[in-house]
Structure formats: structure tokens, C-alpha cells
Amino acid sequence: MRLSRRALLGSAIAAPTLARAQGGDPYVLGTLFPLSGPNAEYGKVFTEGVQLAMQHAEAERMLRRPLRLQAEDTQALPQQAVVGMTKLVNVDRANYVMVGFTAVSKAVAPIGDRSKTVMVNGGAVGPDLAGLSPYFWNTIPLAHLETREMLPFMMRRNLKRVALVYVDDPLGDAILGIFRNDLPRAGGELVGSFSIPRTAQQFGPVAARIRQTRPDTVYIASFGAQQGQIIKGLRDNGVSVPLTSYSAMNLESIRNLAEAEGLLFTSQQTDFASGDELTRRYATDFKARFGSDPGTYNTNYYNATRLFCLLAGKLERENKEVNGDTLRAALLEQKEFDLVGGRATFDEQGSMTAAIQINEVRGGRVNVVTG
């Protein structure tokens, strides 16, 4: 799935033009998302959340100065992310940079730390992203929080014998460590762990090895186009047990995959139908603009963008400069914010905590399940 930067950002570029009546140079919001390559679907989803938050910030006149979105295409690769981050910091003078993917986040964190540029992750879930830098924040519950909710659910569903398929990168390694340490404590058993390269697309041999372990469930720790190929590869090669995973599965391409029927995955809790006014408006406006219901990652990057607007607006009212240090001080001073999904709380490391829900894919839709 390839998306041109022009096509992806067209509507976002229009918002700052309307906002120029507010005066002053724009605040530059940078994004380090995959806009091309096998993970481009994530870049599209991430950017949609940013675009809508910018639209709402303009409508609410949250800031005195306009916003400008500056996108850099990482293809979800650390090296390209470093190049993009360096440009955002040194050339574009970005006030705030949104990132995704664990390996990308780790690669750019030292640059943002040195330049005191706030970086916000709404997509990667590696537990070691907490405390990566004082200027690195998370608007997504990290893997240990999602897994903490999934493991008891799996035990209640009698999914105790677990085979893990995990991508060979920092995310996969982190989730492997969680399963090795926490699954036995929950009453389960890791009957097999199968590392796969990020570029792998054929999973017949892995499926054959998984069948030999006789699992109750297969937990998939991957992302991007590879997720769908793993699901199809398992089903096509006789693995019929329930599949489990984390919030990376909340994508349209997965929901529409026939082999994903019954997939169980975690995400933060969000009630779009009967939640607070901000959450309901967000869901309504998202569907009107993009033609579909919002998902987890749309919401995370909407919240990341809105968080900047809340913090920068506070600093403007206090006649303070908006920079990494003042943004961080404002975050730590307030800690709780009204975001989509309800009241969000940030800890001293800049990581957001949120209630977790279990979801199930049925008939191309994501349904919340309990017990």
C-alpha cells in the first residue's frame, strides 16, 4: 500500500492556512510515520488521527499560533527515522514529534533527548519505551499493561498452553520476555516460542512446528502486513486454535481478513457510542471525514496531537515559551487531561495509563468481550 505524502497530508496542510489569522509563526508538529512500504497502512491510520485533532484545534481556537504538520517517511525503518528526526530538529525546528514502532522510537530518542524535543509515541508498545527519555512520552498503554489484562482472560478461557510467534526486533523480544516471566505466574505454559524475521512472509514451516506443540492458543507479536500473512499462514496450514494478540491488530486489513475471524486482542478502553462529549464528537467527526469508525491508533495520535494543543495553550496563557522543557513541566504539573476515551493520567516518565479491554473480530467488526 503506497501513499504519496501529498495525498496523505492534503487536508492537514489546509488547516494552518485557515489558522493564520491567529498570528505568529506556526508550531511545527513533526511525524515520523511509514508513508510507503509494507507498513504504510499504519502511517495512514496514524496521520488521520493527527489531521482530525488539528481540525478540532482550529475549530476550538485552542492556540494563538497556527499549526503546521511536517511529515517524514520512515518506512518503519530506524535508519530512515534517524534521518527524518535530524531534519525535523535541525531544519524544521519542530516543537513536537510523533513517532511509532519500537525500533524507530529507540533510534530517534537520543536525538530528541539531546535537542530537548518532545517525542510522543502512540503506536509502539515495547515496555522499555517507558523512561526512554524525559522528552519521550507514550499515549498508548505499553505491552506489559496490555499483557497484564490478556493473561488472566486467556486463563479464564482455558487458553493455557501458549505458542508465541514473535518478530525478531525489540518489540518481539520484549513480548517474549513478558511471556516467559508472567505466563507461568498466571497459571499458563509457554509451549513454544518462534522467532521470525521482519521480512518473512511465508509461515508454513512455522505452522508445522506450532502444531507439534499442541497449543490452546497462538499469540502473535508482529505488526504491519506481516500480521495478516501470519494469520493466513497459520490457518492455511492447519492451526485452528484461537489466535490472540495486542492492539497492533486493530486495523481494517485485519478486520476484513476471513482467517482473522475470532481473533482476540487487547486495546485501551474507549466507548465511542456512550462515552463523554469529546469522545462522541471525535467518533462522529472521524466517520464523517474518513468514512469509517475510528480505531485504536487513530485515537492515540488524535490524543497525542490534542495533548500538545492543551499544553501549548496553557503555556500561551501563562506567557511562557513553548519548548521541550516547558511542555514537559506543564505535563508533570497537570498530569491528568481530558482526551478521547476519558480522563488520561500520565506518570513521571510521561507514560499514559488507561483501562484495557479485550476485543474479538467477528464478521469484519471489532466487538468488546469480557470474561
pLDDT digits (tens, 9 = 90+) for 212-234: 999 999 999 998 889 999 999 99
Mean pLDDT value across residues 13-38: 71
CB 178 within 8 Å of CB 205: no
Confidence (pLDDT) at 131: 86
Confidence (pLDDT) at 273: 81
Confidence (pLDDT) at 201: 87
In angstroms, the CA 88 to CA 71 distance is 9
Other C-beta atoms closer than 10 Å to the C-beta of 22 total: 16
Contact partners, residue 1, CB within 8 Å, separation at least 6: 40, 41, 44, 225
Q: What is the DSSP letter of 213?
A: H
> Which domains occur in the chain, in start order?
5-140+274-353 (3.40.50.2300), 144-270+357-369 (3.40.50.2300)
Mean pLDDT value across residues 194-208: 93
Sign of CA dihedral 118, 43, 131, 331: positive
Whether residue 197 is predicted with pLDDT greater than 90 in this model: the reply is yes
Whether residue 187 is predicted with pLDDT greater than 90 in this model: the reply is yes
Helix pair 170-186, 102-115: axis angle to 10 deg: 110
| Apex 41 CA angle, 243 and 91, nearest 5 | 135
Q: pLDDT digit string (tens) for 70-126?
A: 999 999 999 999 999 999 999 999 999 999 988 899 999 999 999 999 999 999 888
Q: pLDDT digit string (tens) for 246-300?
A: 988 988 899 999 999 999 999 888 888 877 899 999 999 999 999 999 988 999 9
Q: How far is CA 312 from CA 82, 250, 279, 321, 335, in A?
A: 26, 30, 21, 9, 14
**In the structure, what pLDDT confidence band is assigned to residue 198 with cuts at 50, 70 and 90?**
confident
Q: Which value, in Å, is the radius of gyration of the alpha carbons in the chain?
A: 20
What mean pLDDT value characterizes the chain? 90
In angstroms, the CA 351 to CA 122 distance is 10
Name the nearest CA neighbour of 189 among 216, 210, 166, 208.
Answer: 216
In angstroms, the CA 70 to CA 68 distance is 6
In angstroms, the CA 250 to CA 157 distance is 21
Whether residue 370 is predicted with pLDDT greater than 80 in this model: the reply is no
Whether residue 371 is predicted with pLDDT greater than 80 in this model: the reply is no
What is residue 83's three-state secondary structure? helix
Q: pLDDT digit string (tens) for 34-75?
A: 999 989 999 999 999 999 999 999 999 999 999 999 999 999
Q: pLDDT digit string (tens) for 310-332?
A: 999 999 999 999 999 999 999 99
Q: pLDDT digit string (tens) for 154-171?
A: 999 999 999 999 999 888
In terms of phi and psi (left: phi > 0; alpha: psi -120 to 50; beta: otherwise), the region of 262 is left
